[in-house]
Amino acid sequence: MSKLPINLHDLLRQRTVEGERIEYKAGWNPDPIIRTVCAFANDFENLGGGYVVIGQDCDANGQPVFPPVGLADNQLDKIQQELLAACQLIQPPYFPVLSIEEVEGRKLIVLWAPGGQNRPYKAPEAITAKHKVWKYFIRRYSSTVEAKGETEQDLLSLAAKVSFDDRYNQSARIDDLSKPLMQAFLQEVGSTLAEDAPGLSVEALARQMNVAGGPTESPWPKNVGLLFSAGHQKLAIARTDGPSEAQLQVA
């Protein structure tokens, strides 16, 4: 079963994900692949990370070539073992979601690397080097580059800029947000968005209220949205099961 949040054929043909968020690799080469995984994890432009497709070649314009080169069955376990060891060298350790896929009878390994919760990340410039040098990497358009100078300082400040409330909670789902509670809040504060809310999906409404975000193929609620829903639910319970107003006055 695929572990990807997107249809593979749409991904390969860049129908729903921009080319700058996809890296094609004809074969397993740990050095550039780990640098790119690190860059996607840093998510410098807040695009939602990206995907590395191993076993898929591309042309000079960065478009995938079909049929894919593919990976031999006896390579798959070896690549996964080496990938695990390589990802442990990222500081702090970062592990993308790995999914083995099949396209036109050829096996591919697809790495889904969403923006990491512990960024910034740095990776060895060369995994295979005896004496490793760790550097920060980011995506610039469709390339993975080292973050230097002012760009590096901006990257280092990302962790400090993103408060707990505004961080995406990747262990939760959009469905964990309560649309009725969001609608009730909008009506309570007199927001004009309350009129449009009934016709919007939970995701669309949450994005409008800025309590959710992330890439279109894999949206995530923000902690503030989850705290908002949990807080209102507790308040509702307190109103129905808690002490009456008279009892509170006596107390």
- Same domain for 48 and 148, yes or no, is yes
Q: Which of 79-88, 101-110, 205-214 has the lowest mean pLDDT?
A: 205-214
Q: How many folded domains does the chain comprise? A: 2
The more confidently predicted of residues 232 and 213 is 213
The predicted model gives 126-133 an average pLDDT of 93
User: Do 22 and 136 belong together in one domain?
Assistant: yes
Shared domain for 25 and 108, answered yes or no, is yes
Averaged pLDDT, 194-200: 92
Question: Residue 97 burial by CB count (10 A; 0-12/13-18/19+): exposed, middle or buried?
Answer: middle
Residue 144: pLDDT over 80: yes
Distance (Å, rounded) from C-alpha 44 to C-alpha 75?
32
Distance from the Cα of residue 151 to its chain's centroid? 21
The DSSP symbol for 222 reads: B
How far is the C-alpha of 95 from the C-alpha of 93, rounded, in Å? 7
* 19-47: average pLDDT: 95
133 within a domain of the structure (yes/no): yes
Residues 28 and 152 in one domain: yes
Are residues 140 and 41 located together in one domain of the fold? yes
The answer to whether residues 155 and 180 belong to one domain is: no
pLDDT category, 241, cuts 50, 70, 90? very low
pLDDT for 60: 87
Do residues 227 and 111 both lie within one domain? Answer: no
For residue 161, what pLDDT is reported? Answer: 67
Write out the residue range of the structural domain in which residue 41 sits: 8-160
d(CA 231, CA 224): 10
Q: Please tell me whether the overall predicted TM-score, pTM, comes out greater than 0.85 for this model.
A: no
What's the pLDDT at 228?
77
**Together in a domain, 127 and 75:** yes
